[in-house]
Structure 1
């Protein structure tokens, strides 16, 4: 059926569609220019990107036009001609054009930060509007951007204003409107049946896949897929097989119990040392910022000096690309289950087997100390429900914060609060475990003036250097404390400063530093074993010679056999197991791939149809993590499981 919209109120949909397609085309083209060196576009790939891009653009528009189509259908003739309706329609079209301009600008800024289209990060940003709005306001000349969008919108609206008037003057009977509406409603139906996330996997080059996408469509898809059922979407093994493999993985080849219940007794040799642990998790501290890992900019002189006197872990990897993934891995010692992190799964994020609960049961003063407001990303609820007391920006008097930005207090003010809490615990004759989370190394990259030789707000390099300066100040002040000699200072990143790469899981973008400094107890050394953040908690407890009951997935890095070394890394959909010479990846729709030579600039990624030994290990970890979490087998006081 051919729809003749030129003499119909539905012509308005066609005009706005044309404008939307132009905006989406411009967005895709500008992003392509930004990503051109990495995208490796052949002529065929170029055509695929734009062809699939149009499909996604139309799919999004199809969903967006549903309420518009119904409005145009149901408004009767007598109301259509009224001034109120005319004003409403004109305002709606103007707002839509402005919104398209806003989306274009937002996509460019989002790409500049993350090198991807809208994804689950943008969903989180919608939820925590205060921090995000403040961050945008402090990072960008927002009035200038919004004014520029307004001027462009006025010009585009002027181009179509006469056509809008013609459509508003049309007399159209209900039967004709119904015919047009029925035809237009086929577009969202076809989109629902034929268009999904699979289409965008046109290449192993992640930049090509992102360019083919549509930002608003990706946003909606990310919102829907914040949690994924492992058994529904991923490759599985029989539960008995996966459980046996997992038991061997976590118990160094020795099966302790049947099924997925990994609870076991950990017997660390030696007399227990009730040392304090001062764990500083640093925002976005990539390994390659440190001179010890090859950086020549001298951004981290304090950390580089500290590395020479510490136990330095040179082959450690973050489990994910977001702060909550790092917090989850270090706290719970669990692989990154698909979808949103456990920290943000409200109602299912507490009473879990955490290092905080273990140390609290041993008499430790356990605190989570955060530079920002702990309601952000549900952090306070998560930590409070897993054995921790809370100190954050909200609980800190304004008089004790000399500088704040969108994300929270400056690092040196955060450390001042932590030192006060440590003094109080020492006076109470109580060992302490403090897990600190910094905020400074994050856009807008602002910090107190006069601390370093780079002006505040000048970029990430300055934020990294200030972060390093603050760590140096922390240790200088701590040296004068009576508890200093019996404290392990642990410095580790939550994730790296960027996760973009030609492949979906670029291993080099997960490499983070960790060092443990305690001159009276830990000799300076380098630990080269391949590991990830899930191994931090078991390693720290081993350094205390502490015996404990465990439901952790991680292992003591210091006693790992070479054959057991591995790092678990992922994003919210792809789940990887890195074993040194290859990266095995599980993806939705039961897909399995492997990267060969994964640390190379352009690793080879191949599809796999049958699991090999490495992929079976991968499945065992993630299938086991999903089962254990869903069945509450890692609950701090786990219920009896019906056998």
Structure 2
């Protein structure tokens, strides 16, 4: 069927292609996700109807500029070489961007089981790491070639149908063009004011929510909502009531508050003689608890960690606060709950905070942050460098000024046996940490080190010949290499004179994935944590529910430290500890107690669920008023303290 001659024929042709391709992508993702999603056939109408609304919005945003161009283009120029060149070129580029985004959606879904979000926005910023990662993970020339060929095919197909000719040969009167433009503009404005990305999140099944969204729309939404003001979008108590409740929740026999009012600044007192070992914390990239045999894995991919878990202090019921490395870093350096939007590591005015490093600094320790990649990524160097840590990383952005106030050391080429998009392999970063420890010990300086690994990350590549799984083939291989490198690290440091007086912490930054049928899939926040070589403390398992933010208060309790604190974390072994954990996405703030979960969401929403840990099942439950008040007190005060400088030294 030939196109009707109309100046807007190409515009409507592009819109039709967009709607068709988006429908096919949504259907393919639905087929991919359906077996594990917990969705029902009754979910499909909402998925496709909401999806159509979002797709129409994307089509309008893509074409409104071209619609304005068609409105003002004089009729005498409509069939000129200029307009034909402009239209063909614009159509080809817009279609290429669209097709590439659809290809990217499949890779993003495979990693995160969701549409584009803040992670995708971050990836657009840090192009070196991301492009290198894509190039090492996928056959990039074939993908680019496929995108170009498919784009050329779509352009040829519409041209063959006469769509372009119909536009160029048309004689659409100005007032008809004005009416068409006004309708398109009006629909776009209605979409802006009446529809937002949270509309897709009103259902109970997270997969259904994500499938209803459109990738491009979600990307723009994430970009425009990089940080959410708690006091604007979430349920609130008046500040004194919230802080009073929090202070009561955090009160313990060994602490007393040093300030009144809206503060949690307090002194933690221990009368037993303090022990002051060195501390090396190994933060393991994307390491879910269920990788370990202790938590049910039968693949025998973590023999080292399973062994030291029996020799050290294993937290069996610990939960990460989020799903990204910077969120884990926030929890492990500040011991605070997650606040909506970006991690504090990525925010402005995040310098000179009352961090774990500051507590060690007050005790005379030297603190260093070790990272196998370039710490420019995710603002890590600026955050750690302006909070008292020296930096050792792999310098790539030589012209970037991170404005850090401490020393930055580059890992030289001579010290690198293997490197991929994210940085040097785990063995190499451990070598750098050992070298630093030797130097500090020789100088008589106690040390506290934060070591961030990278090998357990796509493209899952590592040095050849180390384990029996070929490099770059699977997540399991990366996990097994990660475990192998830990074994080599422990073997090397066991001969060092400083080893007997050094505690090593092994903890994940977050799990390998967060995908699940629920808004917050609790099992995908369950991480392992091991305190190893703690002096005068017998091997044991700590089975109470707790959070990443509780690691250091618990360790410092074992070491009998007296110190001042602005940490939300608790010593989970102290009398009166009430089990709880904070789990979050960028917008959803979960407060977890044994058998119960409360989720705070934008638009002042709160939902309560029962939770069966053994079956990993969540069910809607009547609102628990005490749980709601605890949740609000925790998250509201954390947001307030950071915003108002209450987390500063």
TM tier, smaller: over 0.9
Alignment of 1:397-416 (within 5 A): 397-416=412-431
Whether 1:376 and 2:377 are equivalent positions in the alignment is: yes
- Cα distance in 2 for partners of 1:519, 1:600 equals 31
Provide the residue aligned with 1:641 in structure 2. none
- Cα distance in 2 for partners of 1:472, 1:604 equals 38
Deviates more, 1:138-147 or 1:279-288: 138-147
Provide the residue aligned with 1:172 in structure 2. 172
- Cα distance in 1 for partners of 2:537, 2:462 equals 32
Whether 1:431 and 2:429 are equivalent positions in the alignment is: no
Q: Contact 2:39–2:205 at 8 Å: present in 1 too?
A: no
Alignment of 1:279-358 (within 5 A): 279-345=281-347, 347-358=348-359
1:377-435 alpha-carbon deviations (Å, 9 max, x no partner) = 00000001111000011111111111100000000000000000000110111110000
- Cα distance in 2 for partners of 1:560, 1:157 equals 70
**How far does residue 598 in structure 1 lie from its aligned partner after superposition?**
4.8
Q: Contact 1:56–1:213 at 8 Å: present in 2 too?
A: yes
| TM-score under structure 2 length normalisation | 0.94
Provide the residue aligned with 2:620 in structure 1. 606
Query: Secondary structure in 2 aligned to 1:22?
Result: helix
Gaps of 5+ in 2: 396-409
Provide the residue aligned with 1:484 in structure 2. 499
- Cα distance in 2 for partners of 1:543, 1:397 equals 38
1:15-63 alpha-carbon deviations (Å, 9 max, x no partner) = 0010000110011000001111233443431111101110111122222
Q: Contact 1:592–1:607 at 8 Å: present in 2 too?
A: no
Alignment of 1:439-454 (within 5 A): 439-454=454-469
**How far does residue 195 in structure 1 lie from its aligned partner after superposition?**
0.8
Whether 1:630 and 2:632 are equivalent positions in the alignment is: no
Alignment of 1:6-405 (within 5 A): 6-161=4-159, 162-252=162-252, 256=257, 257-345=259-347, 347-394=348-395, 395-405=410-420
Query: Secondary structure in 1 aligned to 2:51?
Result: helix
- Cα distance in 2 for partners of 1:386, 1:425 equals 20
- Cα distance in 2 for partners of 1:377, 1:560 equals 38
Deviates more, 1:327-336 or 1:231-240: 231-240
- Cα distance in 2 for partners of 1:252, 1:565 equals 14
Change in CA separation of 1:276 and 1:62 when aligned onto 2, cut-off 3 Å? same
Count of residue pairs brought into register by the alignment: 629
Q: Contact 1:536–1:554 at 8 Å: present in 2 too?
A: yes
Provide the residue aligned with 1:460 in structure 2. 475
**How far does residue 201 in structure 1 lie from its aligned partner after superposition?**
2.4
1:346-400 alpha-carbon deviations (Å, 9 max, x no partner) = x322111101111112210100001111000000000011110000111111111
- Cα distance in 2 for partners of 1:21, 1:493 equals 41
**How far does residue 536 in structure 1 lie from its aligned partner after superposition?**
1.6
Q: Contact 2:608–2:624 at 8 Å: present in 1 too?
A: no
Provide the residue aligned with 1:639 in structure 2. none
Whether 1:574 and 2:572 are equivalent positions in the alignment is: no
Provide the residue aligned with 1:596 in structure 2. 610
Provide the residue aligned with 2:560 in structure 1. 545
- Cα distance in 1 for partners of 2:247, 2:537 equals 31
**How far does residue 602 in structure 1 lie from its aligned partner after superposition?**
6.0
- Cα distance in 2 for partners of 1:214, 1:368 equals 38
Change in CA separation of 1:607 and 1:574 when aligned onto 2, cut-off 3 Å? farther
Q: Contact 1:331–1:537 at 8 Å: present in 2 too?
A: no
**How far does residue 606 in structure 1 lie from its aligned partner after superposition?**
2.5
- Cα distance in 1 for partners of 2:175, 2:368 equals 68
Q: Contact 1:445–1:459 at 8 Å: present in 2 too?
A: yes
- Cα distance in 2 for partners of 1:179, 1:577 equals 52
Change in CA separation of 1:69 and 1:228 when aligned onto 2, cut-off 3 Å? same
Provide the residue aligned with 2:599 in structure 1. 585
CA RMSD of aligned residues (A): 1.6
Q: Contact 1:110–1:117 at 8 Å: present in 2 too?
A: yes
Change in CA separation of 1:193 and 1:255 when aligned onto 2, cut-off 3 Å? farther
Query: Secondary structure in 2 aligned to 1:627?
Result: helix
Of 471, 480, 504, which residue of structure 1 is paired with 2:519?
Answer: 504
Gaps of 5+ in 1: 637-643
Alignment of 1:469-480 (within 5 A): 469-480=484-495
1:472-493 alpha-carbon deviations (Å, 9 max, x no partner) = 0001100110000000010000
